[in-house]
Structure 1
Amino acid sequence: MQKSHRAEPYKIKMVEPIKKLTRSERERLIAAAGYNAFQLKAEEVYIDLLTDSGTGAMSDRQWAGLMMGDESYSGSRNFYNLEAAVQQYYGYRFVVPTHQGRGAEHLISRMLIRPGMYVPGNMYFASTRLHQELAGGIFKDVIVDEAHDPYSTHPFKGDVDLLKLEKLILETGAGNIAYLSLATTVNMAGGQPISLGNLQQVRQLTLQHGVRIIHDMARVAENAYMIQQHEPGHQHKTVAAIVKEICALTDGAVMSGKKDALVNIGGFLALNDQGLYEEAKNLVIVYEGMHTYGGMAGRDMEAMAIGIAESVEEEHIAYRVHQVHYLGDQLKDAGIPVVNPIGTHGVYLNAAAFLPHIPQVQFPAQALTVALYQEGGIRSVERGILSAGRNKETGDHHYPKLELVRLAIPRRVYTLAHLDMVAEAIMATFKNKDNIRGLEMVFEPKYMRFFQARFQQVQ
């Protein structure tokens, strides 16, 4: 199949040199890092697909915005520019800046969760679920079953299963539901979007029972693009209009500006309820900083305000998703097992099918991240049993149905030629897959173990 090329909607005016080390050097370095790519130095990585969070390239307008930073301790004009951007493009009334999305997750969890309350969601994300659990909440997955099937080609695998959600509400009582945690798109399912039609039905159900929807909107523009492209009846709408429609169906949002908003640090909590806003303003002073900066420099708030506007530009978002599908389609054509359909922020390798000889307790997805680094200097991240953590009651691992490796593509950073090299390295790894060994964990931190765990290869 001929590769589908699409020209970048930008030109490059600054470059950062990268260097590919020898295979023997890479083998030595990943072993010294405890077979965990998070522990590698950035200079030891050739193509870094560890995450798309905070790793994108800012525009000339954003860099110019940095020079307009007002670093006043209180009332920075950059806060009001950010507030105006959130109100214009997302429609939420109130904004509380945080140092990144995790700070917003912490605030909303402390505000809305009482011990023993349930937090349903369309699949978990590690930091989100951890904050919910630290506040005493119990996460319940209410995503459609297709999301757990890497072979399903359902176009909106981020959809909420309405029957699962209603069953939970009726069994526990609406008063015991802290809120519905709803992500656009769903990271752990492979960057899969939720449909607008499903969200409308979810909103109707939650209003009927008095349950809030808190929106994880880190990649809402990517989700809106997939609605525009694949959900009937929305092709005539702009991405910006669909983004605002999505947000209007929720009560508040946590945002990592390091994704859609195209900045390297920062986030916010957005709310419509003034009472919750006043509470959040008070809490943010305790944990982050004044409510008009919340752990961010004024210059970074300015860059985020500009990035929000850029994130919904049609050419930008179309090319951003095109790069992901460009890589995904090459791998599919080569017979590499990937999650279908290809999502929006990265390509997810199906590690269970890639390495069927490695049992799940030997961390096959983590082993595959090691092999990809050894082969091509590519840094990726595990999204399987390691990321799922342990069951607090039994002490055993959680055993997710999906055992994946995520290749997250930073925005406006790599060219299609870089992605060609990634594809070639993955194909070479696949040919040598039978020689890849499983791993055993030799160090396990208490929280979000995938960041700092260390391993040794099974002999």
Structure 2
Amino acid sequence: MSSYTSGMATPTELLPRDERERRLEEAGYNVFNLASADVFVDLLTDSGTGAMSDAQWAAMMRADEAYAGSESFEELEEAVSEVMGFDRVVPTHQGRGAENVLYGCLIEEGDVVPNNTHFDTTRAHVAANGGDPVDCPADGADDLDSEEPFKGDLDPETVRELAADVGPDRIPVVILTVTNNSVAGQPVSMANIEETRELADELDATFVIDACRFAENAFFISEREDGYDDRPIAEIAREQLSHADAIVMSGKKDGLVNVGGFVGVRDPELFERARQRAILYEGFSTYGGMAGRDMAAMAVGLREAVTEEYLGARIGQVRDLGTRLRERDVPIYTPVGGHAVYVDAERALPQIPLEEFPGQALVCELYREGGVRGVELGSFAFPNAERPELVRLALPRRTYHAEHVDHVAETVGAVLDRREEVRGLEVVSEPENEALRHFSAELRPV
């Protein structure tokens, strides 16, 4: 038996309630506008917010900061090849940089791009390159109470109908996001990955896996899919990615680092195009917006991420939060995914109409009640999309302890105990790009 222990402590402060109310109002009822010091338990995202291991810190101390030909990039290349099976790697500053590089090479005006479910930045990058992002989730993905094991799957028949409608030539790429963040972090089965590979071949399309939580997805395949329970998770992780032509990766998730990402491709011609685009937007092709120390830490983190010990502790903590919320009769999406618990805000706050953003109202109340910062992933974050009103409570990796999980559960329970007092919200100002409005829009109580 092995586990991780904390080697560094960071003080946090729960501000007085009246001070939290003032900060929330000043932030325009958008918790992205709060300062980190205003927040007691920060579950806004698991992206780049976790703690690194001693081995990662040691790697940073001996990193090579050369502009070209960095040894730390060679270490990252070797780790990506070993853990993920891609020998051609284009480094970027983070996941959305990888999206910009790859989708800028693959998508043109008038293209249609299916995905099991696009996340906000993916949707925005597809649209920015002239494409139409289309969600094709599996049947039952919107059933919050179902215990189906792989609700993150893509529905191939929806994609085939789409191709028949628009013509297969207009679908240059099929994307599969593992795990499916926009469907409550639900995993994708190996069978569905293989089926998506066959579908991409039918359409003569490039098959891209958004692999930022590939290790967590492999854990669920090991646990839930027939024939995989006795295989090492590292082996499953590599197999699931072996079916893809390319991957985009945010190292801030299952790379276990605070910044960084990359594109992995198999085709030499696409690799060269992506490399040249990355030089323009990210940096030279042996650093791509990362310092050498970031690449060195990610090389170690990728290997740590596929260990049974790490994943058991990581997903166990998320499940623990889900259990504590259910004990308080909080309506959540089940089964609980790998990186976050998703609260059903529509059922939690039934008195607030959908046009008044019950999810965002719940996010604000969690901060007001207990200094907890979550994020809305419903109609505020995804305007004009038919989707549940979810609030994501994403746990940073290797960061919080049991008492923090208790505080979060108590905070959510306390808000629901006084739910009749909670008011809806309306948008006061928003950016031109509606797909990204939840990052910076401001609201006010109705």
- Pair 1:141-2:135 in alignment: yes
Q: Please give the residue correspondences for 1:366-381 in structure 2 after superposition, counting only pairs within 5 Å.
A: 366-381=360-375
Q: Which residue of 1 aligns with 2:252?
A: 258
Q: Which residue of 1 aligns with 2:388?
A: 402
The separation in 2 between residues aligned to 1:14 and 1:296, in whole angstroms, is 24
The separation in 2 between residues aligned to 1:8 and 1:134, in whole angstroms, is 46
* Structure 2 counterpart of 1:28, from 22, 27, 30: 22
Q: Please give the residue correspondences for 1:31-430 in structure 2 after superposition, counting only pairs within 5 Å.
A: 31-389=25-383, 398-430=384-416
- Pair 1:457-2:441 in alignment: no
AA in 2 matched with 1:83: E
Q: Which moved more, 1:164-173 or 1:28-37?
A: 164-173
The separation in 2 between residues aligned to 1:184 and 1:249, in whole angstroms, is 13
**Any conservation in 2 of the 1:149–1:402 contact (CA below 8 Å)?**
no
1:295-353 Cα offsets, whole Å, 9 max, x none, are 11111000000000010011101110000000001112321111111111000000011
Residue aligned with 1:145, SS: coil
CA offset at residue 417 of structure 1?
A: 1.6
AA in 2 matched with 1:15: A
AA in 1 matched with 2:101: L
The separation in 1 between residues aligned to 2:275 and 2:205, in whole angstroms, is 23
* Structure 2 counterpart of 1:441, from 427, 436, 444: 427
CA offset at residue 8 of structure 1?
A: 8.4
Residue aligned with 1:307, SS: helix
1:384-404 Cα offsets, whole Å, 9 max, x none, are 111113xxxxxxxx1422111
Q: Which residue of 2 aligns with 1:395?
A: none
Q: Which moved more, 1:107-116 or 1:8-17?
A: 8-17
Residue aligned with 2:205, SS: coil
The separation in 2 between residues aligned to 1:164 and 1:13, in whole angstroms, is 48
AA in 2 matched with 1:454: E
Q: Which residue of 2 aligns with 1:393?
A: none
TM-score (normalizing by structure 1) = 0.95
- Deviating 4+ runs (over 4 angstroms): none
The separation in 2 between residues aligned to 1:401 and 1:275, in whole angstroms, is 38
CA offset at residue 160 of structure 1?
A: 1.2
The separation in 1 between residues aligned to 2:70 and 2:76, in whole angstroms, is 10
AA in 1 matched with 2:313: Y
Residue aligned with 1:331, SS: helix
CA offset at residue 168 of structure 1?
A: 1.7
CA offset at residue 360 of structure 1?
A: 1.2
Q: 1:81 to 1:278 in 2, by over 3 A?
A: same
**Any conservation in 2 of the 1:142–1:165 contact (CA below 8 Å)?**
yes
CA offset at residue 173 of structure 1?
A: 2.6
**Any conservation in 2 of the 1:382–1:405 contact (CA below 8 Å)?**
yes
The separation in 2 between residues aligned to 1:399 and 1:358, in whole angstroms, is 19
CA offset at residue 413 of structure 1?
A: 0.1
The separation in 1 between residues aligned to 2:196 and 2:40, in whole angstroms, is 43
The separation in 2 between residues aligned to 1:457 and 1:446, in whole angstroms, is 22
**Any conservation in 1 of the 2:428–2:443 contact (CA below 8 Å)?**
yes
| Coordinate RMSD, CA, aligned | 1.1
CA offset at residue 89 of structure 1?
A: 0.5
**Any conservation in 2 of the 1:350–1:403 contact (CA below 8 Å)?**
yes
Q: Which runs of 5+ in 1 are unaligned?
A: 1-6, 390-397
**Any conservation in 2 of the 1:99–1:266 contact (CA below 8 Å)?**
yes
1:367-389 Cα offsets, whole Å, 9 max, x none, are 00000001110000010111113
**Any conservation in 2 of the 1:179–1:211 contact (CA below 8 Å)?**
yes
TM-score (normalizing by structure 2) = 0.98
Q: Which runs of 5+ in 2 are unaligned?
A: none
**Any conservation in 2 of the 1:107–1:280 contact (CA below 8 Å)?**
yes
The separation in 1 between residues aligned to 2:139 and 2:163, in whole angstroms, is 19
**Any conservation in 2 of the 1:8–1:319 contact (CA below 8 Å)?**
no
Q: Which residue of 2 aligns with 1:392?
A: none
The separation in 2 between residues aligned to 1:316 and 1:70, in whole angstroms, is 27
**Any conservation in 2 of the 1:265–1:300 contact (CA below 8 Å)?**
yes
**Any conservation in 1 of the 2:172–2:204 contact (CA below 8 Å)?**
no
The separation in 1 between residues aligned to 2:213 and 2:2, in whole angstroms, is 20
Residue aligned with 2:172, SS: coil
- How many correspondences in the alignment? 444
CA offset at residue 153 of structure 1?
A: 1.9
AA in 2 matched with 1:431: D
